[in-house]
């Protein structure tokens, strides 16, 4: 059975890179957040206001996994004019059930 091809949202690579850059900028400006994160992790961006991108990133995680690394989720608004100081991302590690 052939694997189903993911429907790639428009500009997915550049959108994910931009959002990852925003999260990394936030983390570098708030280094204490790293105290609660593992040393090596897989970051998954879940934009609250972009269901297409959020779904695509979930599908990527489901399909390719995290290569044995802990997963850290970052939920944020993906609006181009976002200000993470005013609305910081929710960064968390899911707990095992």
* Residue 57 within a domain: yes
- CATH number, domain containing residue 17: 3.40.1350.20
* Residue 97 within a domain: no
Q: What is the pTM of this model?
A: 0.77
* Tens-binned pLDDT, residue by residue, of the chain (97 aa): 455 666 777 788 888 898 888 888 888 998 999 888 988 888 999 999 889 889 999 998 988 887 788 999 999 887 655 565 567 788 878 766 5
With H, G, I as helix, E, B as strand and everything else as coil, classify residue 32: helix
9: Cβ–Cβ under 8 A, 6 or more apart, which residues?
A: 15, 52, 53, 56
How many domains does the chain divide into?
1
pLDDT at residue 45, as a whole number: 93
* Residue 58 within a domain: yes
Q: Which two three-digit tokens encode residue 12?
A: 């997915």
């Amino acid at each position: 059975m052939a694997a189903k091809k993911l429907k790639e949202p428009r500009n997915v690579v550049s959108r994910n890179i931009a959002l990852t850059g925003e999260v990394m900028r936030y983390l570098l400006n708030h280094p204490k957040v790293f105290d609660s994160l593992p040393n090596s992790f897989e970051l998954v961006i879940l934009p609250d206001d972009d269901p297409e991108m959020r779904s695509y990133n979930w599908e990527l995680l489901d399909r390719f996994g995290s290569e044995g690394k802990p997963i850290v989720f970052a939920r944020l608004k993906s609006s181009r004019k976002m200000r993470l100081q005013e609305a910081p991302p929710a960064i968390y590690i899911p707990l095992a059930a």
